[in-house]
Amino acid sequence: MKTSNYLAKLPQEVTIKSIETHQGYDSFTLEKQRLCPHCGSVHCVIKDSGALQTVRHIPINNRGTELSFHKRRLLCKDCNTTFYETPYWIHPSLHMTWALYDSILLDLMEPIPQTEIAKKNCVTESIVQSVLKTINFGLPAHLPETINIDEFKGNSGVWSQKHHKWYLNKYHCNISDGDSHAVIDVLDQISTAYLHKYFQQFSLEERKHVKYFCCDMSNGFVSLAKKDFPNAKICIDPFHVINRLNDMVDDVRRRYQHEFQEKGETENYKKIKSHTPFKNKAG
Ligand SMILES: [Zn+2]
């Protein structure tokens, strides 16, 4: 076993030819064993030395690591096939090793900010974002009888490579099964057009099965329910009703408070000021 490969978490079939030290990261130049993916033979000759490929790897000694190697075209002398090398330890679409991909993915499961994950793995935040983007749970197979829908504040968004900045969505949308209380999906936008497009992915038959659509009083949700769920009863969540009533009572209280202050009725002003209603800011 090659100890250097073991310590650098590299597969045994590569050889580290050289290591260059740069500011903040190290660059490894590798040579790969010639191996036929069809018959497993090592009797392969190089047809084309190919372009130099550079991928990112997990940090070694808290320093970022870059791996460089030639993506060659080989001919197997045993089974007579030609092929381009596609190392199994490199992610097929992201410029990184599976080891780094797995490390970032495991960190994404923890409640830690993406900036911390980037720092821990010695990569940029956009690389963490590119791993996050590969996770796709797909559409739920069925819609529940009771849909609960609500917005929440978040900070997810889209990274624009062109403008080199984040386009953040202030509000996101949570959709859950009102009976089992399981989360069905989390969407990064709440516009009616976006939600309409989302629910249109389910067949009309599927949408007809929805009996109750629970939401707040926002016009967007209500019109969406009318448009997309022909058989659903629209239920305004009691939490939002109570919250709205609380707001209205508070408006009146504040109006009087202001009036008493203007008139100099200190006694009344003090009495009413102490009656601030309980406010629940969740949801
Ligand atoms: Zn072969």
Give 25-87 as a DSSP string.
EEEEEEEE----TTT--S-EEEEE---EEEEEEEEETTEEEEEEEE--EEEETTT--EEE---
| CA separation, residue 120 to residues 6, 25, 55, 128, 194 (Å) | 20, 13, 18, 11, 35
- Average predicted confidence (pLDDT) for the chain: 89
What distance in Å separates the CA atoms of residue 139 and residue 149, rounded to the nearest whole number?
Answer: 16
Tokens of 34: 């010639």
**In the chain, where are the structural domains located?**
3-97, 146-236, 239-273
Over 70: is that where the pLDDT of 246 sits? Answer: yes
How far, in Å, is the centroid of ligand 1 from the Cα of 30?
A: 23
Percentage above 90 pLDDT, the chain: 58
Q: Rounded to the nearest whole angstrom, what is the distance from the C-alpha of residue 56 to the centroid of ligand 1?
A: 29
33 CA distance to ligand 1 middle (Å): 14
User: Measured in angstroms, how far is the CA atom of residue 16 from the centroid of ligand 1?
Assistant: 25
Which residue is listed with tokens 């057009």?
193
Can you give the pTM of this predicted structure? 0.59
Query: pLDDT value at position 74?
Result: 93
Contact 31, 102 (CB under 8 A): no
In angstroms, rounded to a whole number, what is the distance separating the alpha carbons of residues 5 and 157? 38
283: pLDDT strictly greater than 50: no
Q: Report the amino acid identity of residue 158.
A: V
What's the 60 CA to ligand 1 centre distance in angstroms?
A: 35
Tokens of 66: 């870059």
Average pLDDT on 265-283 reads 69
* Model pLDDT for residues 174-225, shown as the tens digit of each residue: 999 999 999 999 888 889 999 999 999 999 999 999 999 999 988 999 999 9
Distance of CA 73 from the midpoint of ligand 1 (Å):
13
Give the distance (Å) from ligand 1 centre to CA of residue 12. Answer: 20
pLDDT in tens, 52-64: 999 999 999 889 9
pLDDT tens across 96-134, in order?
Answer: 999 999 999 999 999 889 999 999 999 999 999 999 988
Rounded distance from Cα 57 to ligand 1 centre (Å):
29
Burial bucket for residue 189 (CB in 10 Å: 0-12, 13-18, 19+) = middle
Confidence of residue 140 (pLDDT cuts 50, 70, 90): confident
Question: With contact defined as beta carbons under 8 Å apart, do 30 and 69 qualify?
Answer: yes
Name residues whose C-beta falls within 8 Å of residue 25's C-beta, 6 or more positions apart in sequence: 63, 64, 65, 66, 122
